[in-house]
Structure 1
Amino acid sequence: MAESKRDYYEVLGVPKDADDATLKKAYRTLAKKYHPDANPGDQAAADKFKEASEAYSVLSDPEKRRQYDQFGHAAFDGGAGGAGGFGGFDFNGGDMGDIFGDIFGDIFGGGRSRGGRSNGPMRGADVRTSVRITFEEAIFGCEKELELNLKETCEKCHGTGAKPGTQPQTCPKCNGKGKIMYTQQSFFGQIQNVQTCPDCNGTGKIIKDKCPDCYGTGYVAKRKKIKVTIPAGIDNGQMLRDRGNGEPGTNGGPRGDLLVEVVVSQHPIFKRQDTTIYSTVPISFVKAALGGPIRIKTVDGEVEYEVKPGTQTDTRVRLKGKGVPSLRNRNVRGDHFVTLVVQVPERMTEAQKEALRKFDDAMNGIAPEGEKHKKKGLFGKLEK
């Protein structure tokens, strides 16, 4: 019964002076929310979806909307001025088809192509590869030559894919458009969608006599050498983009890019974090106790450092400006932090052990064998 139906404007949640864009947006939101495929087994959601679809079917049609504004639901009740209820509303219009296509695409995660594959110029695909460099090459930069198999336009057919002396023919299935329209029967009526032509794969052309060199593809694989410049400060896993060295475009489109992932080999001594380098240097017990010069390896070569007397193990030393150059400004460099680790000898002769015992006794204020302390306590130790 017409009296039991809610107002169509109320159903869509729009004012009575809403324009077409507002109506479409409101309906699309409700349709996505209550679509049966998104709410399996939910009868209440299915009813709300039907109600919203019926409301939009009327209000999106100027003539039906005029009748509804004048007579309300009675305009379509009993066949006097309308379609005889929900089942008679037309869901085959282009606008409804577009909306349902968008909804189905959103629900199932793929979406549909409204226009199929474009016959205009299209950019070529990017090509990905990787290059391995040493730790030092990452710090100071380098040049590498890559050898790759790349697609190139066939010289024999000039990219047409057709045998020399012949030409591609217009695809009879899509009449050269590269796309076909098909009708899908749904619960709410017929929906018209567009898809890429399966016979010509969207090119609009059929090749009967294929080029013997490229087998109708229009491209051949060629071994090509490409030099890439790796900037100083590059880190492991970062990507370089070499523009215009990817696959060729179609229909006069530009080439894609070459994307090069940089893989940096590990160093046996140095570790890196951003622009900072870390390393560990062992020093002897005597050097730690008495101090003195040591040689420290850096990426710039060895440098001399003066160890302070009484240096403890795990003391960290900062070598300013001996780290990694910044990618933004290679004149700006990070630091190199060195951890000094006091080495304890694992094997000693008996004479060395005796010397250490005497040293330990001397540090603890015990007199050597055969000698007596003249004084005890602090002053005795100082005098000794």
Structure 2
Amino acid sequence: MHRLLAALVIVSMASVPAAAAQSRKSKSKPKQQQLEPPPPTPPTSAAPAPAAPAASGQPAAPLPSTQPALPSAKPKGEGTTLGLYRLVRKGETDPLLKTVDDAFRQVADASKRYRSVVALPEPAEKQGCGLNVPCLASLGGLQGVDEVVAGDLTKTENGLILRVKLVDTRSEKVLGDKDQVIASQTAPEVQVWAESLACKLMMGQECVGEVLVDADLPEIKILVDGEPVARTSTRPERLRLPVGVHRVRIAVDKRNSLERQLLVSRQPSPGVTLYAREHEEALAVTSPAEAPRGVDGKPSVAPSVRPTPTKWTRSVGMTMAAVGVVAAGIATYEGLHSKSLANDANSRFAANGAYTQRDLSTISSAHSAA
């Protein structure tokens, strides 16, 4: 019995350390499991990814419910290109059309708005585009330009009508539309009007040109479009005016010259545009083409001559003065005579106590003389 109890005690004592070790081992397992990465989750069923496009050079098809991206428009300004639709076509013989084309090209080249300017080829249609917006936009789009400028020159009974359009090739939108009635069919006037319209469309503002007016007297006033121009001490006067056609005349005191045209171009004036002179008989504004030529072939314009009193003007003045003196004397005599008649009638009234018929006639005559 004693031996059995001793064996049980030994067995129980041996199991205590093992249980403690097992307890410590079980407590350390959760900490070890936290350090281990979680097991991978099984893949879920999903739609197969779209296959990569084959390397055949063909563009990939757009995804469902999406639109293919549109090409972005070029930024305006420095990167904008302009196409010139030429008025002069094959077989054209009108020199005024070339004048308009050259003016458009010069303004376009001078504009800082465009990166480059190209001349558009003629369309396949025999009648051409004219000012047809879809035709101009299509023609410009085929040439890769952003904007197209086109003009039209129509002859009328009394002159010309010049029209200009600026078209956006991507949207077929008219960016500008200008027209001008030209009173003549001369190349210089057509040129300055073409420059004026082109500046307003392709530069967004009026261009300014310079002309030289030779006025040799300081008292000569220069009036442009009815407005006086400030004079300086320089000769000839350098006038800066908007490009186009203006009206000019000169004046001295109450004397005025006849008005005449003044053409102002973008191109600098090579010399004097007009000569302003005062003469005895009238004031004159003369162009170099109208002036006489000197031995060197250049215009030779006589200087102004200030008007001086002549014998005729002095005689007229003296005559008018004499007429004034005589008129004053007659008025004085009539006044004194009427007063004398009235005094005589009043004296007889005081003596007789009444006016006679003669006295009444005398008083009436006195009033008339007065």
Output the TM-score relative to the length of structure 1.
0.23
